[in-house]
Amino acid sequence: MSITRLRRPTLHATAIGGLLLSAIAHGQPASPGNPPHPDLSALVQCQASVEQFAGLSGAVDDPLQAVALGWAPRPRTNPFMAEYRLNTPVQAYGRHSDWLAISGGTVMLVLEQVSPQALAAELALEVVVDENGKFMAGRELVSRDWIDPDNGQVLIESAVIGVSTVASHVGKTLLGCTYSLDLPEEQPDSEHAPSGD
């Protein structure tokens, strides 16, 4: 597997959550009664930041916030995904859907009657798995330094566009973006490298 993001050591999910919450605390606080409307199209297409993705946590954790955004929570058919029916469909890469799913660091549209192989080819994604009814493909679109506002630690902010299928959603294709904060790759110590003399 050669998707760049997967070569770097990734922080544990709880560590990422803490860092993102720290970043949000340094931004503009949202009014509890009037949560900001996230740009779901930008989020799904990897055109947002880890901070903007972290802003979805309120709606995921609090059904009332989700409803205030016009999201109707759907029954969970997959224990690892929070799913919503949206008042207004979201468009991404020429597709649109009113079915949103969030899992870990990934925000996705659930698409019907879309071939995952064809969509992955259209988006020039690297196919990782395509066997036994399971499909997964992705490509890193964002890789940039992210500085922890509390301690100045430099991490790598990554956003990977992905197309996949999941057994709990037979016949559906998931299109979305995975946001992460990764530890920088360890560089060889140049001081101890052979001099070549």
pLDDT digit string (tens) for 145-176?
998 888 888 999 999 999 999 999 999 999 99
Write down the domain spans for the chain.
Answer: 40-182
Q: Per-residue pLDDT for 20 more than 80?
A: no
pLDDT digit string (tens) for 65-102?
999 999 999 998 899 999 999 999 999 999 999 999 99
Cβ-contact 161, 149 below 8 angstroms: no
The pTM score is 0.79
Q: Per-residue pLDDT for 2 more than 50?
A: no
Amino acid 189: pLDDT: 52
Amino acid 148: pLDDT: 85
- Three-state SS string across 31-67, please? ECCECCCCCHHHHHCCCCCHHHHHCCHHHHHCHHHHH
